[in-house]
Amino acid sequence: MPINIDRVTKLTEELSQNTQLLAEGNEKSRLKLLLISYKLTQALENPQETFWKLWMLDSITRIVVQVASDLKLPEYLPDEPDKAVGSAELAEKTGAEQALLTRLLNHLAASGFVEEAGPDLFYANILMRHLSTKAIQDGSEFYPRTMGKAVSVLPQYLAEHGYRDPTDELDCPWQKAFDTKLHSFEYIQKDPDLARLFKHAVLSQNQVRRTHWEDHDFYPVQERLLSGLKPNSVLMVDVGGGIGLDLTIFHDSHPLPVGARLILQDVDSVLKTTGDLTPSIEKIPHDFFQEQPPSSKGARAYFFHRVFHDWSDDKCREILLALKPAMVPVYSKVLLLETVVPSQGATWLNTAADLVMMCGLAGRERTETGFKDLLESVGMEITGIYTRSPGEESIIEAIVPE
């Protein structure tokens, strides 16, 4: 198929224009540049190359990267070209056969995970270095064994269900993949190894990709929460807050008024794993499908971090309706830290995350309209959406109007 020269030229010019802004540290330009580069690659590929990449490259590269991690290649590969090592030396260090290592390293080089300094000479780049981090190691083991397996049965699941959008968390691709009637969270918790990986993967992801929503240039905490706070009252309830990472950082980031209370809520089995938290944070076991306990009512803010993308609209309505009686109209705020998907021009990360949530949980990522419709359906209204950089999660702020 002939290449569209006009399109390639236009994209190349856009690439050049945005590259100049990278020196200023412009995150918006970086993301735009990334999108343009994807489009330029597609414009230069012929359809056969695109489909071969889809069928072969993505699947085999993930497996080879996993093998590289298993062999601890990041530990044995140097950072400098003049110290590059060959497959024979790596075979001695890893115990793998040299012939196999040569083939694996050749593919890692071809797919950009290692660099070549010469024939059969390799050294690490930033991707290989990142592979040695715990966040990536945990994720590379957890996701293929869980969500990856659920995604793999999607074609059969959809055919069997008449190509309907999955909205039942007990009847989505996960149940077909694992031949179970259990919710994916319950299934994971019943398997000690998966439960361990899940905890580590989520914790590592939150530490590495954490959105610092409480920063002064992101969400105006002083203006929206501290100003007008009632004396000796609950400032924030972190609902489904896990081990308390968000609430701890919020506590450390803002001088809190005397008597302001912070409450961490999750199911009892999760709260038992939190370890020692600052004395200012109270731990209260709670199922967010149930109404708030008396000690948590009337809070200034009820915070949910990536809770709603785990659930269908109907289940999210249940969560909000259970919360609503605890809220003081206008005064109390719901804060949802979620990805707000653009209604046009969504990135592959937005759309892939949406489909993964669908397969594993019958959940979904949402657009601004999706959040607006959801909140209004339970009698709440959005009072602001706060985002610092494109691609980051946003704070959706909502209230119960008078």
The model's pTM is 0.88
Give the separation between CA 101 and CA 279, rounded to whole angstroms.
Answer: 52
List the chain domain ranges. Answer: 5-131, 134-208, 221-399
- What separation, in Å, do the N-terminal and C-terminal C-alpha atoms of the chain show? 62
Percent with pLDDT over 90 in the chain:
71
| pLDDT value of residue 18 | 79
Tell me the pLDDT band of 34, cut-offs 50, 70 and 90.
confident
What is the 3-state secondary structure of 22-79? Answer: HCCCCHHHHHHHHHHHHHHHHHHCCHHHHHHHHHHHHHHHHHHHHHHHHCCHHHHCCC
Superfamily of domain 221-399 in the CATH hierarchy: Vaccinia Virus protein VP39 (3.40.50.150)
pLDDT averaged over the chain? 92
For 294, counting Cβ atoms within 10 Å of its Cβ (0-12 exposed, 13-18 middle, 19+ buried), the class is exposed
Tokens of 309: 């993308």
Q: What is the mean pLDDT of residues 35-57?
A: 90
Sign of CA dihedral 179, 201, 310, 65: negative
Q: Quick one: which H or E segment has residue 309?
A: none
Identify the active-site residue in 107, 251, 286, 309. Answer: 309
Tokens of 194: 């998966």
Tell me the pLDDT band of 93, cut-offs 50, 70 and 90.
very high
Beta bridge partners of residue 263, listed in sequence order: 237, 282
Tell me the pLDDT band of 133, cut-offs 50, 70 and 90.
confident
Give the separation between CA 158 and CA 155, rounded to whole angstroms.
Answer: 5
- Closest to 292 (Cα-Cα) out of 327, 318, 267, 268: 327
Tell me the pLDDT band of 207, cut-offs 50, 70 and 90.
low
| pLDDT value of residue 139 | 81
Q: What is the mean pLDDT of residues 79-85?
A: 96
| pLDDT per position as a tens digit, 6-15 | 999 999 998 8
Give the separation between CA 142 and CA 205, rounded to whole angstroms.
Answer: 12
**Of the candidate ranges 14-23, 74-83, 205-214, 311-320, the one whose mean pLDDT is the lowest:** 205-214
**Of the candidate ranges 204-213, 278-287, 315-324, 344-353, the one whose mean pLDDT is the lowest:** 204-213
- 234 φ, ψ (degrees, to nearest 5): -80, 120
5-131 CATH fold: Arc Repressor Mutant, subunit A (1.10.10)
Q: What is the mean pLDDT of residues 378-400?
A: 92
Stated length of the chain: 402
| pLDDT value of residue 200 | 76
The CA–CA distances, whole Å, from 239 to 2, 127, 244, 318 equal 55, 35, 10, 14
| pLDDT value of residue 301 | 99
Which residues have C-beta within 8 Å of that of residue 25, sequence separation ≥ 6? Answer: none
Let me know if 309 is a catalytic residue: yes
| pLDDT per position as a tens digit, 286-319 | 999 999 999 999 999 999 999 999 999 999 999 9
Q: How many CA atoms lie within 13 A of 21 on its CB side?
A: 14
